[in-house]
Amino acid sequence: MAAAVALVVSVLALSAMAKAGSPIVQYIFGDSLTEVGNNNYLASLAKANYPWYGIDYPSGITGRFTNGRTIGDILCNVHDLTT
């Protein structure tokens, strides 16, 4: 019962903050559908700095091991947030 009350209070507090103009932050934890990896700052032979790892982006190479957007990118676009 206490957990349910805490959940309701948290949801109400977060919705009030969102309406007040506070910045919205999304923390998305997941598997390979949301985490595409980035090892540009590590000494490694496997890098994502090749043209095909950014073919679907106007700016080109993204440094991420994917050629397209993830579900996190799509959710941020829906909510007008930056990734």
Query: pTM surpassing 0.95?
Result: no
| pLDDT tens-digit map of 31-71 | 766 777 777 788 888 888 877 777 877 777 777 887 777 88
pLDDT given at position 21: 65
Residue type, 27: Y
Report if residue 58 sits inside a domain.
yes
Q: Measured between alpha carbons, how far is 59 from 47 in angstroms, rounded to an integer?
A: 18
Report if residue 83 sits inside a domain.
no
The residues, any chain, with a CB within 8 Å of residue 33's CB and separated by 6 or more, are 70, 71
Are the C-beta atoms of 48 and 60 separated by less than 8 Å? Answer: no
Catalytic residues: 32
φ/ψ bin of 24: left (φ > 0), alpha (ψ from -120 to 50), beta (otherwise): beta
Report if residue 10 sits inside a domain.
yes
User: Domain of 10?
Assistant: 2-78
**Domain tally, the chain:** 1
